[in-house]
Amino acid sequence: MVDHVREISIALGDSPAERLLKENKITCPRVHLNFADYPVIIKAFAPMVRKLAFDIGELSLVTFLQAIEVGKPLRLLPIVINGNMHHGSIFYDPAKGLLAPADLKGRRVSVRAYTQTMGMWVRGVLKEQYGVPLDEVTWVCREGAHVSEYKCPPNVEIKEGAKESNLLNSGEVCAIIASAANVKDAGLKPLLPDAAAAAAEWYSKHETVMINHMVVVTEEFMREDPSAVQDVYDMLRKATDMISAERKNGGLSAVGYGADRIWSGGAMQLAMQYSIEQKLLSRAFDKSEIFAEVVE
Domain 6-84+209-290 sits in CATH 1.10.3720.10: no
241 DSSP 8-state letter: H
E strands, the chain, in order:
6-11, 31-35, 56-60, 74-82, 90-92, 108-113, 138-143, 156-158, 175-177, 189-190, 213-218, 256-257
- Secondary structure (DSSP) of 160-212: TT--HHHHHHTTS-SEEE--GGGGTTS--EESSTTHHHHHHHHHHHH------
CA 16 to chain centroid, in Å, comes to 16
Same fold, 6-84+209-290 and 90-206: yes
Instruction: Look at residue 35 and give its three-state secondary structure.
Output: strand
Give the pLDDT confidence score for residue 244 in this predicted structure.
84
The CATH classification number of 90-206 equals 3.40.190.10
CA distance 208 to 210: 7
Residues of the chain with pLDDT under 70: 1-2, 246-250
Give the pLDDT confidence score for residue 3 in this predicted structure.
73
From 42, 41, 43, 23, select the one nearest 33 (Cα to Cα): 23
Give the pLDDT confidence score for residue 246 in this predicted structure.
67
Average pLDDT over all residues of the chain: 95
Give the pLDDT confidence score for residue 247 in this predicted structure.
61
Give the pLDDT confidence score for residue 203 in this predicted structure.
97
Contact 215, 139 (CB under 8 A): no
Give the pLDDT confidence score for residue 248 in this predicted structure.
52
The pTM of this model reads: 0.96
Residue ranges per structural domain of the chain: 6-84+209-290, 90-206
